[in-house]
Structure 1
Amino acid sequence: MVDLSQCYLHKLGDAERGLLAELRGLVPSLVEKAREASEDAKKTERLTIWGVDLEKESEASDIILLKYLRAEELNLDKAATRIVDTLVFRADCKIDGLREAVLPGCYQGHDVISGLDVEGRPVMISRFGKMDLEKVFGDIEAFVRYRAKLMEEAMAQLSFKKGEPEDLTQVHDYSGVPLIFQTSQVKDAVSAVTKVFSDHYPETKGKTIFVNFPTAFAKLFKAFSLFIPERTLKKFQILGENDHAQLFESIPADRVPEGLGGMHRDGALAGPCKQVQVRARCTEEVCLLKVEKTPCSIDWELRVCYWDVSYEVWFVADGTSDLVQKSDGLVQATDGVISGQYVAKTAGELRCHFINNGAWFKSRLCLARAQVHM
């Protein structure tokens, strides 16, 4: 296996620096080859990849050239050929205009590109449960165009600066996807888009997380994984319905959408959440916020990530406790984020008790946070 650890701009080895210089010198001829191979490329004034002009020497263009070198395991000729192919693909398929393209309704409302993971990568989340699967996967060309548009939007979030993240984290949510759906149709569409991304979006996959992934789809994953290099395949993670703690290790809970068990939503509080694992038949207390300057208003939010739990919110000061709010029975994960406000007249602490008395064996993962109202 070729060592690619020094094929990054911020830690470039001597051999890799030489390969980059050689590939850099070939760029004008590669652009010319692309123009000769494509009428659309010939008509385009500047040929770019993700908005970066390879003919203009810069950190951004060096980073992209190094991506192609890594993808071809430092084989200069293969990297050069793939660059030409990508320039032709982007010109012929009008990829540069995809970010502004309006997609058919069946592709809208299922994806969000927002926030960063724990390593600073842009996060792209796709939820398949509410899709019209026949329409979405039925037209392979339209499906590839749809996914390419999302990739272009996500790649636009990268800085292409030395030492900063160069790839993406993608989350694919399969909750609500019917198991009786004909997976052969899905397989054809996914195989097509995987090949396009493998050929023309090299070294962009930082991590791909499958959440709420049904066992029945394991064979589908195995089928299209044949198109994926082993080094890339290691970046995949498959999580079940209640593996939120593992998801939050990659993406902070405050950046995970409410619908996926996190705390991110329109109008939500800012900042990190506290995670609390509540064992069966136990109560766990968490301090949400300490305040000293009063009076002040405190906004608070909490939720259970899976199954159910009951809760009590208290304000504790000078040995006295004021019950702020308690649940009316069990709160379900499907209830999402519960929020409220409390006016503190004295210094003290806002605390939450998560109560898991209804469970005999299973623990619950809960989230909570609070801040002074701004």
Structure 2
Amino acid sequence: MAAMTQDKAAVEQAHVAEELVLDNVDGLRAAVQEACKKYEAEVGHKLPADLVSDVRMARFLSAHAQDEGKAASAYEQMLAWRKEMEIEALRKKHLEEVEILQQSSFPHWKEIREAGEYGPWYVAGKSHAGDLVHLEVIGASDPSFLLTQVSDRMVLEHYIGFFETRAKILDSLSAETNRMVRTVQIRDLSKFGVSLVQHASAMKVLSAVMKAGSAYYPESSSKVIFVNTPMSFYGVWKMASMALRQRTLDKVTFLQSRYHRELLKYVEPRVIHRLEKMKSIDNHDFIEKGEEEDHLPLEISATVSVAAGKTDYYPLWMTRSGPRSKAVIEVSVPSGSAAGTEPPSAELIFCSNAEGHKVEETKLPGAAYATGVPGRYEVTFPEMLPDTVQDAYLLVTFDNTASWMMSLSVPLKVSFTGEAAA
């Protein structure tokens, strides 16, 4: 095999930790003290300690640029909403012992699961800054059908259970680390359909859930990323996002199908792979069971569509050891090609999180991995990557920039041939 060369390019990390600012928390707590006493008298329950903690006060202040007056007003609105939703009674009934972020921890989960709604992967890993990573496949279930099986109130209470539990966990982590721990939320829209907007009640519930998460549990997210975003989603988002605060909207990014480089600025390759796993499996019981084995096939057939004047790639998750440490890639001649045409050449680009969590790209010329058979490449996880890098994405890339009129559809077969762990 030809000697391997590499061309590296580093991309700055997008996600950094933020210190916990506690300078004004006592002032805010004093400003809302009377409102808290009134609330407790009206609902007949003491406010939970996490609601008046330093970290929770810091979140409200951070959400309102350290403006004590605005933060106090937002906090009092939160109390009014808690009273309306009877949240203290809900916590006492369902959440007193709950410390785990998973669907079966929250109210009415059995009814919701029976209606076909499998919850997100609430803690699929941590971001480079230490935030919890939330993965979700939007459209994996039919919201219209869901709301014929359970009431709007039950769905709201289920999500309130999630918000309450998440807030306690985030606050606890923040106090332990002295930094503002939030979530990075990655939502896949590849299964999104318009059934959501065709059901008025579903849109109403969605808006209520989004408003609650944004206004009453502030600074719970550091970034929200939608991937595989179809054009039809933007209309839904325009309506649903009216309930969100501008600070929340500023954290939202929309990406299409080529999202791997951007996501690697926030999370490890393994976390992106977990999203792919969720998309490929309808029943997400493996999340509840904590199963980590790889459910994706070791044989893949796909077609890479490359628009005229563009480059595009097929992503392959590879690991330093195990079956995915080696891959045989077979590129076929695009259909409709003239007789005698050879398969298009592929450029192999490894994307990984190097030290400092910067995204590093290592280009491996396809010629170095050619086998003598046209279109066939044998790739091994690169030894030159730092030992701390245990997995990476191989982007099998095709260049169609020479054509300004014709798109390119490249058939691809992949077999992972590494040895399974003993």
| TM bracket, shorter-chain basis | 0.5 to 0.7
Shift of 1:267: 3.7
CA offsets per residue over residues 58-107 of structure 1, 9 Å max, x none? xxx21211222233444434433433443454461345335543422236
Paired residues for 1:1-374 under 5 Å: 10-11=20-21, 17=23, 19-26=24-31, 28-38=33-43, 42=44, 44=45, 46-48=46-48, 52=50, 54=52, 61-87=53-79, 89-90=81-82, 92-93=86-87, 94-96=89-91, 97-98=94-95, 99=98, 100=105, 101-103=107-109, 104=111, 105=113, 106=115, 108-114=117-123, 115-136=125-146, 139-158=151-170, 159-161=173-175, 163-179=178-194, 182-183=197-198, 185=200, 186-260=202-276, 266-268=291-293, 289=320, 299-301=322-324, 310=330, 361=408, 373=421
- The 3-state SS of whatever aligns with 1:160 is helix
Identity %: 18
Q: Are the equivalent residues in 2 in contact too, given 1:124–1:154 (CA < 8 A)?
A: no
Normalised by the length of structure 1, the TM-score is 0.61
Larger strand proportion of the pair: 1
Normalised by the length of structure 2, the TM-score is 0.55
Shift of 1:209: 1.4
Q: Are the equivalent residues in 1 in contact too, given 2:63–2:219 (CA < 8 A)?
A: yes
Specify whether residues 371 and 28 from structure 1 end up closer, same or farther in structure 2 by C-alpha distance, changes over 3 A only: farther
Question: For residues 69 and 33 of structure 2, what CA distance do their matches in structure 1 show?
Answer: 15
Specify whether residues 244 and 10 from structure 1 end up closer, same or farther in structure 2 by C-alpha distance, changes over 3 A only: closer
Q: Are the equivalent residues in 2 in contact too, given 1:284–1:354 (CA < 8 A)?
A: yes
Which residues of structure 1 form unaligned runs of 5+? 1-7, 55-60, 270-277, 290-297, 312-328, 331-351
Shift of 1:121: 0.9
Q: Are the equivalent residues in 2 in contact too, given 1:123–1:170 (CA < 8 A)?
A: yes
When structure 1 is superposed on structure 2, of 200-209 and 260-269 the one drifting more is 260-269
- The 3-state SS of whatever aligns with 2:136 is strand
State the one-letter code of the partner of 1:47.
L
Q: Are the equivalent residues in 2 in contact too, given 1:9–1:66 (CA < 8 A)?
A: no
Partner of 1:347: none
Specify whether residues 116 and 369 from structure 1 end up closer, same or farther in structure 2 by C-alpha distance, changes over 3 A only: farther
Q: Are the equivalent residues in 2 in contact too, given 1:140–1:192 (CA < 8 A)?
A: no
Specify whether residues 179 and 362 from structure 1 end up closer, same or farther in structure 2 by C-alpha distance, changes over 3 A only: same
Q: Are the equivalent residues in 2 in contact too, given 1:9–1:163 (CA < 8 A)?
A: yes
Question: For residues 312 and 66 of structure 2, what CA distance do their matches in structure 1 show?
Answer: 57
Shift of 1:285: 12
Specify whether residues 67 and 117 from structure 1 end up closer, same or farther in structure 2 by C-alpha distance, changes over 3 A only: same
Specify whether residues 286 and 234 from structure 1 end up closer, same or farther in structure 2 by C-alpha distance, changes over 3 A only: closer
Specify whether residues 33 and 183 from structure 1 end up closer, same or farther in structure 2 by C-alpha distance, changes over 3 A only: same
State the one-letter code of the partner of 1:299.
G
Q: Are the equivalent residues in 1 in contact too, given 2:182–2:221 (CA < 8 A)?
A: yes
Specify whether residues 358 and 78 from structure 1 end up closer, same or farther in structure 2 by C-alpha distance, changes over 3 A only: closer
Question: For residues 369 and 117 of structure 1, what CA distance do their matches in structure 2 show?
Answer: 30
State the one-letter code of the partner of 1:266.
E
Q: Are the equivalent residues in 2 in contact too, given 1:282–1:357 (CA < 8 A)?
A: yes
Q: Are the equivalent residues in 2 in contact too, given 1:126–1:172 (CA < 8 A)?
A: yes
Specify whether residues 215 and 89 from structure 1 end up closer, same or farther in structure 2 by C-alpha distance, changes over 3 A only: same
Q: Are the equivalent residues in 1 in contact too, given 2:131–2:184 (CA < 8 A)?
A: yes
- The 3-state SS of whatever aligns with 1:111 is coil
Q: How many residue pairs were aligned? A: 293
Q: Are the equivalent residues in 1 in contact too, given 2:189–2:229 (CA < 8 A)?
A: yes
Question: For residues 223 and 154 of structure 1, what CA distance do their matches in structure 2 show?
Answer: 26
Q: Are the equivalent residues in 2 in contact too, given 1:172–1:209 (CA < 8 A)?
A: yes
CA RMSD, 1 decimal: 4.7
Q: Are the equivalent residues in 2 in contact too, given 1:288–1:369 (CA < 8 A)?
A: no
Shift of 1:256: 2.8
Specify whether residues 267 and 83 from structure 1 end up closer, same or farther in structure 2 by C-alpha distance, changes over 3 A only: closer
CA offsets per residue over residues 189-241 of structure 1, 9 Å max, x none? 22221222233111212111112222111011122222222222110011223
- The 3-state SS of whatever aligns with 2:322 is strand
Question: For residues 293 and 253 of structure 2, what CA distance do their matches in structure 1 show?
Answer: 28
State the one-letter code of the partner of 1:23.
L
Specify whether residues 214 and 231 from structure 1 end up closer, same or farther in structure 2 by C-alpha distance, changes over 3 A only: same
Specify whether residues 151 and 260 from structure 1 end up closer, same or farther in structure 2 by C-alpha distance, changes over 3 A only: farther
